[in-house]
């Protein structure tokens, strides 16, 4: 179009991603998607076409024309001259003066005519059948949504705008929002000139998410930067409450590599509390209002699986088009029952992270926990707490304090940049507080519920996001350290280094540590921390007579009609996150290895567990899986594994049988697995195939723990059943030396470097290799004892599995050892 740069109005089908100077980042991306992704087929998902609500842009030229025609430029310059954005009172005063100048100015007649003509044309094109046109008016700054700066929440959006007068007023408000306090402060921090930035406005058909749902979507994990997932947050009603952190939304996670292969690769779902929603208002001057969410809807996911997968595919298509991780907003129209993408911008925090340097925050002492919530990132922050209730208290905030609030608002960014950490009552991991804290590089805990009640202003606190998904606020200033590791020039040893993992919450971060998969994924942690209920209590739910136990089970299984589905789905999600984090490297899941006293401690477990004098050598591991009293519970574990492999496409998942006393017992377990849909066919030449599998290798690899002397004394019989051996050095030491490792009296005798233990390990490695089977070891021995590591390497062990914090130092040590052995 000729003279495009001097047009008052440009429609979405006339603009694209190169038009940021003309229509700002938001509008440029809306036009880009509307033109290129709503009609054209894509290679990855040829049957998917993204839906973007149509609209037009009031251009940056219009804004400049408005400012010039009203002679506002010099007046604004004078107000902002010499402004110190750290002086909150001065910032508030200057921002208010500039906004009032703009709001009191009038539209030039030709600009007003152009806007109203576009509005009339828009209504005709949409053919509203007599209904009044309702639009969203969104600010779009010419320095917004850039790959280098997010400007998240810097300008305003106005929803459900009806009528020509209200449209003009909303556009004027949008113009003035270029000078909100937070926008002024942010531009100063980012070294952007106030007067080289202009504001365009999107006028877009409203998606009736007031009758449906809305939220945000990222094409990476916002905390770790892990790039292989799509992360979706959603809540009922219009999207402002999710973005601003007013509600704690649902969270969904989808694994991109297997999604692209056609699998239903939803690897996690979490139900949010969703207590409020924003809907249309039909009274007064405010076009929207807050409303409570009915309890049934609070306990229901806002998206079904089909919708989650569709949105995820759209996210992948958009990411592929822009060739970078993206941050999007979506809406579900409850009237038309259609999904839409209403915004898209480059993700600007994790995408810029240096992946060659690993930072590990470690809390070295613990104290009284005041509250906890969802951890944002993995850092630690400390300082004096200050509860800020409303904007009138912003000027009281001091550098280095910890901001405690019900929720944060974009207007609070001038003090957020002064904070050493942020703690909020509400909001999720994609709320305003979470996004800004990541950009600022500080710890944040959101969705605590009671932070403002239990953390008094002036209290010294430590905010720890370094202990998993649940962040904790501790009383006092606690000691911590930061481990910094440069992996740019890392060279792996010949011996495969794998990880021992238990907590799915850490695995995306741990996946950045150089590794060759997971040699031991502990299922027990998932059951204890995420499920919390004994499987037999769920299988026999109707027979439970203890009212208190039943009440607790009901609370934990909210949203699940079938209690058994809760166990299977939660277990499958925990396993799948681990398998996804290390895909396509092999991940070896050890089936549950609780002792009877540990199983009894699960909710409802005492009724199903015997009391044993020595549970360590009692009813555990393989002996449970075929037992009539547990085989139905083991069937649930098999079902979860099938879901992860067959439904989610994570065929890198292998399984391992613990504490298998005899070959006959091993055979019985394999038979039970086959009855539950996990047939095992011995994999030929497994030793040479157990690293990265080909895409066609969907065979289930089954390992056995070598932790009982019988496993080694009858190695030929065990080798005929399984694909590999994993040495459990703790139990092997206990059972070889005849000691109870739980007994402090004889604990000093237990040492895997004992010659009898080393003799058994040497025999296992040599004989297994003659049978062409791999041997690994899981435990800290090789990390804690260099001479033991040297022994294992000399004997030719195939892999060593370690806790994540030991991987790098042990890898370096083993590489040096391997080099010395060559000489």
Q: Any idea which residues carry the catalytic annotation?
A: 432, 778
H or E stretch at 383: strand 380-387
CA 632 to CA 636: how far, in whole Å? 7
Tokens found for residue 38: 């709503």
CA 717 to CA 707: how far, in whole Å? 15
Tell the residue number behind the tokens 């607790």, with chain if given: 552
- Residue 233's beta-bridge partner residues? 216, 251
Total count of residues recorded for the chain: 823
Q: Would you say 223 and 471 are in contact if contact means Cβ atoms under 8 Å apart?
A: no
H or E stretch at 819: helix 804-822
Q: Would you say 439 and 146 are in contact if contact means Cβ atoms under 8 Å apart?
A: no
CA 59 to CA 14: how far, in whole Å? 12
Rg (CA), the chain: 30
CA 199 to CA 143: how far, in whole Å? 9
CA 629 to CA 614: how far, in whole Å? 19
Which among 160, 235, 157, 210 has a CA at the least distance from the CA of 333? Answer: 210
CA 437 to CA 223: how far, in whole Å? 11
The residues, any chain, with a CB within 8 Å of residue 62's CB and separated by 6 or more, are 8, 9, 111, 114, 115, 200, 201
Helices marked H in 540-652: 547-556, 563-582, 596-600, 622-625, 631-642
DSSP 751-803: -TTSHHHHHHHHHHHHHHHHTT--EEEESSHHHH-HHHHHHHHHHT-SEEEE-
Cα dist. 480→342, 364, 379, 540 in Å?
42, 5, 10, 46
Q: Would you say 416 and 407 are in contact if contact means Cβ atoms under 8 Å apart?
A: no
- What's the distance, CA 576 to chain centroid? 13
Q: Would you say 278 and 240 are in contact if contact means Cβ atoms under 8 Å apart?
A: yes
Which among 253, 219, 252, 430 has a CA at the least distance from the CA of 321? Answer: 219
Burial 635-656 (b: 16+ CB within 10 A, else e): bbbbbbbbbbbeebbbbbbbbb
Which among 465, 459, 500, 458 has a CA at the least distance from the CA of 480? Answer: 465
Helices vs strands, H then E, count in the chain: 31, 30
Cα dist. 463→349, 394, 779 in Å?
21, 21, 31
Beta strand 799-802 with 775-778 is: parallel
Beta strand 213-218 with 402-405 is: unpaired
């Amino acid at each position: 179009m000729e003279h495009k740069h001097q047009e008052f109005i440009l429609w979405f089908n006339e603009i694209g991603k190169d038009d940021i100077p003309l229509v700002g980042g938001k509008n440029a991306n809306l036009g880009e998607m509307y033109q290129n992704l709503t009609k054209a087929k894509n290679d990855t998902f040829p049957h998917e076409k993204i839906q973007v609500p149509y609209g037009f842009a009031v251009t940056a030229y219009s804004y400049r024309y408005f400012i010039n025609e009203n002679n506002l430029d010099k007046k604004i310059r004078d107000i902002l001259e010499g402004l110190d954005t750290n002086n909150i009172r001065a910032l508030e005063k200057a921002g208010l003066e500039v906004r009032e100048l703009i709001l009191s100015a009038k539209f030039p007649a030709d600009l007003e005519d152009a806007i109203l003509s576009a509005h009339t044309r828009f209504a005709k094109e949409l053919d509203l059948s007599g209904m009044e046109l309702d639009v969203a008016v969104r600010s779009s700054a010419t320095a917004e949504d850039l790959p280098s700066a997010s400007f998240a929440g810097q300008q305003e959006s106005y929803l459900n705008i009806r009528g020509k007068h209200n449209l003009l007023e909303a556009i004027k408000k949008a113009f003035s929002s270029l000078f909100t306090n937070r926008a002024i402060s942010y531009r100063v921090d980012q070294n952007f000139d106030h007067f080289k930035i202009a504001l365009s406005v999107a006028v877009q058909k409203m998606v009736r998410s007031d009758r449906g749902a809305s939220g945000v979507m990222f094409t990476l994990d916002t905390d770790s930067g892990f790039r292989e997932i799509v992360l979706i947050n959603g809540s009922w009603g219009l999207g402002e409450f999710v973005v601003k952190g007013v509600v704690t939304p649902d969270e969904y996670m989808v694994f991109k590599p297997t999604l692209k292969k056609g699998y239903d690769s939803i690897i996690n779902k979490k139900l949010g509390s969703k207590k409020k929603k924003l809907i249309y208002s039909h009274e007064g001057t405010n076009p929207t209002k807050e409303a409570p969410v009915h309890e049934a809807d609070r306990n229901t996911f806002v998206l079904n699986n089909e919708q989650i997968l569709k949105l995820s595919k759209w996210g992948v298509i958009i990411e592929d088009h822009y060739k970078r991780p993206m941050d999007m907003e979506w809406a579900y129209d409850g009237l038309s029952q259609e999904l839409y993408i209403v915004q898209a911008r480059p993700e600007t925090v994790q995408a810029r992270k240096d992946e060659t340097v690993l930072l590990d925050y470690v809390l070295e002492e613990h104290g009284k926990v005041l509250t906890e919530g969802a951890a944002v990132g993995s850092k630690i922050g400390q300082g004096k707490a200050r509860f800020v209730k409303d904007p009138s208290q912003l000027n009281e905030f001091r550098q280095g304090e910890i901001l405690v609030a019900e929720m944060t608002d974009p207007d609070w960014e001038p003090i957020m940049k002064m904070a050493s950490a942020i703690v909020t009552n509400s909001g999720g991991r994609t709320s305003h507080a979470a996004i800004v804290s990541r950009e600022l590089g500080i710890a944040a805990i959101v969705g605590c519920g009671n932070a403002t009640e239990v953390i008094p202003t002036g209290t010294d606190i430590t905010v720890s996001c370094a202990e998993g998904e649940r962040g904790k606020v501790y009383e006092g200033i606690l000691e911590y350290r930061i481990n910094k590791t440069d992996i740019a020039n890392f060279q792996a040893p010949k011996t495969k280094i794998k990880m021992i993992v238990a907590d799915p919450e850490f695995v995306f971060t741990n996946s950045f540590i150089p590794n060759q998969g997971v040699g031991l994924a502990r299922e027990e942690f998932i059951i204890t921390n995420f499920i919390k209920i004994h499987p037999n209590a769920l299988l026999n739910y109707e027979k439970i007579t203890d009212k208190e136990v039943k009440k607790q089970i009901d609370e934990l299984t909210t949203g699940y009609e079938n209690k058994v589905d809760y166990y299977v789905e939660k277990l499958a999600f925990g396993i799948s996150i681990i398998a996804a984090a290390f895909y396509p490297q092999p991940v070896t899941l050890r089936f549950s290895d609780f002792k009877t006293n540990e199983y009894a401690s699960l909710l409802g477990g005492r009724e199903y567990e015997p009391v044993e004098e020595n549970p360590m050598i009692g009813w555990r591991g393989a002996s449970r899986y075929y037992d009539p009293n547990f085989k139905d519970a083991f069937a649930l574990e098999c079902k979860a594994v099938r879901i992860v492999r067959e439904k989610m496409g994570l065929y890198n998942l292998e399984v391992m049988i613990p504490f298998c006393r005899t070959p006959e017992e091993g055979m019985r377990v394999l038979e039970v697995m086959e009855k539950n849909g996990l047939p095992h066919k011995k994999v030929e030449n497994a030793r040479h195939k157990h690293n990265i599998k080909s895409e066609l290798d969907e065979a289930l690899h089954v390992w056995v723990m070598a932790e009982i002397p019988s496993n080694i004394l009858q190695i030929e019989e065990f080798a005929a059943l399984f694909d590999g051996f994993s040495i459990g050095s703790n139990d092997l030491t206990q059972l070889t030396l005849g000691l109870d490792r739980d007994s402090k009296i004889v604990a000093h005798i237990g040492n895997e470097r004992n010659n009898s233990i080393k003799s058994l390990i040497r025999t296992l490695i040599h004989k297994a290799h003659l049978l062409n089977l791999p041997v690994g070891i899981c435990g800290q021995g090789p990390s804690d004892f260099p001479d033991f590591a040297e022994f294992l390497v000399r004997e030719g062990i195939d892999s060593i599995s370690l806790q994540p914090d030991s991987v790098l130092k042990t890898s370096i040590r083993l590489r040096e050892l391997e080099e010395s052995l060559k000489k």
